Amino acid sequence: MNRVVVTGIGICSPLGNDVDRFFTSLVEGRAGLKRVEAPWAGTVYAGLVEADLDSLFPKIKRVSLDRVSMLALLAARQAVKASGWSAEGTVSEHAGLFWGTGMGGAGTLEGAYQDLLVAKVSRLKPSTIVSVMTNAATGQIGIELGLRGPTCTYSSACSSSAIAIGEAFRAIRFGLARAALAGGSEALLTEGVIKAWESLGTLARIDAAQPETSCRPFSADRSGFLLAEGAAAVMLESLESARARGATILAEIAGYGNTGDASHITQPDADGQARAMRAALAEAGLNPDQVDHINAHGTGTKAGDMSETTAIRKVFGLGADSIPVSATKALHGHLMGATGALEFIAAIEALRRRIAPPTAHLWQPDPACDLDYVPLQARPLARAEVVMSNSFGFGGSNAVLVARRFND
């Protein structure tokens, strides 16, 4: 079996559009959550990507690109460029593409419904289908970057991009590809989507005095999450491929766990989450006491945070008390299908820079969520060899990734 390493990272996020700005914002505890400026939005706050997309894509190309694909392309370009990888010759035939998204082209879909049902147009734009389809971003990335190997799109709510990275890892590990771009994108800050989430009761109550602090994972006064858009990508290669190119290796992916709760469509299950963590550790050949840091799913919902706390305790036992756990959604919001990839990158950077980002806004810890959630301020990691990133989605879809410092 092949060892699988990370050689490039790309990010478009509410905290910045490159990995340095993103992670620096996390460490400094700077929230990227702002008021949505739209007639229908009222006091809605969310995480928005600040980028002039019109200047980054020619008009003829924008016709068939939803915002979700534009963000995906920007992150993908970054990751490939950072890795120094290129699709020359037959290399592209052995390079895969594994991408995740929760809702695909949500903006285009909502616009089409507005045109058809409100404006009563007789004909929709010919590019509607290719912009809306869930694998639109995957197809656009593959075309632009020349990735001709195994290609898959995953849509499993909040765990979508974590599953994409895990399956890319497996494809390289078992020799189905030599390299793969993996990650996810989401652009769902539309009136219909936000209203739907509001009706479900999972969005945070807005704090009138400090609205950007409204998402408070593991806090006694937590009330939910704030939605966000963005994209995140990692370039993965077999160690043999990376060595042959003389590539800089950022980290090694060691294990991946994927489980289903099979219990409830929205309520998380601690047993299912714990099984995913154990599966990732088993594939990595690691014991629980070798994990030095966890990036938690940490949505800020009552049920979700309690379930994850319980699951971590099930896996790590008494050792759970000594593991620094960060919940970064408090700062960048919940990117749904892209959140797993973004938070995996946060975990990799914590490993590389030997520092755990804070769980922001944790002024009133919930006594029932009694782990070391790195409250308020970043903390240097005394040991930084192995990190874990948790992603749990509606439908009971759990994905856990384990990475370690590369050691030759």
CB-CB contact of 278 with 388 (8 Å): no
Catalytic residue chosen out of the listed positions 12, 94, 152, 158: 158
pLDDT digits (tens, 9 = 90+) for 16-40: 999 999 999 999 999 999 999 998 8
Indicate if the pLDDT at residue 352 is higher than 80.
Answer: yes
Q: How confident is the model at residue 89 (pLDDT cuts 50, 70, 90)?
A: confident
Mean pLDDT of 323-346: 98
Mean pLDDT of 39-61: 92
Closest residue by Cα to residue 366 from 297, 292, 310 = 310
Does 158 share its domain with 28? yes
Q: How confident is the model at residue 10 (pLDDT cuts 50, 70, 90)?
A: very high
| pLDDT score for 228 | 98
Does 150 share its domain with 270? no
Does 134 share its domain with 164? yes
Does 53 share its domain with 183? yes
Q: Which of 35-49, 67-81, 153-167 has the lowest mean pLDDT?
A: 35-49
The answer to whether residue 251 sits within a structural domain is: no
Q: Which CATH number fits the domain that encloses residue 56? A: 3.40.47.10
Q: Is 12 a catalytic residue?
A: no
Q: Is 369 a catalytic residue?
A: no
The answer to whether residue 219 sits within a structural domain is: yes
Average pLDDT of the chain is: 96
Indicate if the pLDDT at residue 92 is higher than 90.
Answer: no
Catalytic residue chosen out of the listed positions 297, 332, 361, 369: 297
Indicate if the pLDDT at residue 90 is higher than 80.
Answer: no
pLDDT digits (tens, 9 = 90+) for 218-264: 999 999 999 999 999 999 999 999 999 999 999 999 999 999 999 99
Encoding tokens for residue 288?
A: 């629980």
The answer to whether residue 128 sits within a structural domain is: yes
Q: Which of 54-58, 71-75, 257-261, 327-331 has the lowest mean pLDDT?
A: 54-58
The answer to whether residue 83 sits within a structural domain is: yes
Element (H, E) at 81: helix 67-83
| pLDDT score for 91 | 79
Element (H, E) at 401: strand 397-404
Of 218, 245, 272, which residue is a domain's last?
245
- The rounded distance, in Å, linking the Cα atoms of 47 and 328 is 12
Does 231 share its domain with 279? no
Of 219, 245, 271, which residue is a domain's last?
245
Please give the sequence-ordered ranges of beta strands (E in DSSP) within 13-147, or none if there are none.
Answer: 33-35, 45-47, 95-100
Of 245, 272, 304, which residue is a domain's last?
245
Q: How confident is the model at residue 88 (pLDDT cuts 50, 70, 90)?
A: confident
Catalytic residue chosen out of the listed positions 152, 334, 361, 369: 334
| pLDDT score for 254 | 98
Closest residue by Cα to residue 217 from 302, 295, 292 = 302
Please give the sequence-ordered ranges of beta strands (E in DSSP) within 85-229, or none if there are none.
Answer: 95-100, 151-154, 179-186
What is the domain range of residue 266? 256-404
CB-CB contact of 391 with 244 (8 Å): no
Mean pLDDT of 301-306: 97
Does 238 share its domain with 273? no
The answer to whether residue 158 sits within a structural domain is: yes
Does 136 share its domain with 268? no
The answer to whether residue 58 sits within a structural domain is: yes
Greater model confidence, 48 or 60: 48
The answer to whether residue 234 sits within a structural domain is: yes
**Residue 25, CA distances (Å) to 22, 105, 156, 378 in order:** 5, 28, 28, 11
CB-CB contact of 99 with 141 (8 Å): yes
Q: Is 334 a catalytic residue?
A: yes
Q: How many domains does the chain have?
A: 2
Does 286 share its domain with 236? no
DSSP secondary structure string for all residues of 188-216: --SHHHHHHHHHHT-BPPPPSS-GGG---
Does 316 share its domain with 228? no
| pLDDT score for 209 | 95
Does 152 share its domain with 289? no
Does 206 share its domain with 102? yes
- The rounded distance, in Å, linking the Cα atoms of 314 and 371 is 12
Encoding tokens for residue 328?
A: 């970064």
Mean pLDDT of 393-398: 96
The answer to whether residue 250 sits within a structural domain is: no
pLDDT digits (tens, 9 = 90+) for 159-176: 999 999 999 999 999 999
Does 290 share its domain with 336? yes
Encoding tokens for residue 371?
A: 């782990």
pLDDT digits (tens, 9 = 90+) for 104-146: 999 999 999 999 999 999 999 999 999 999 999 999 999 999 9
pTM above 0.75, yes or no: yes
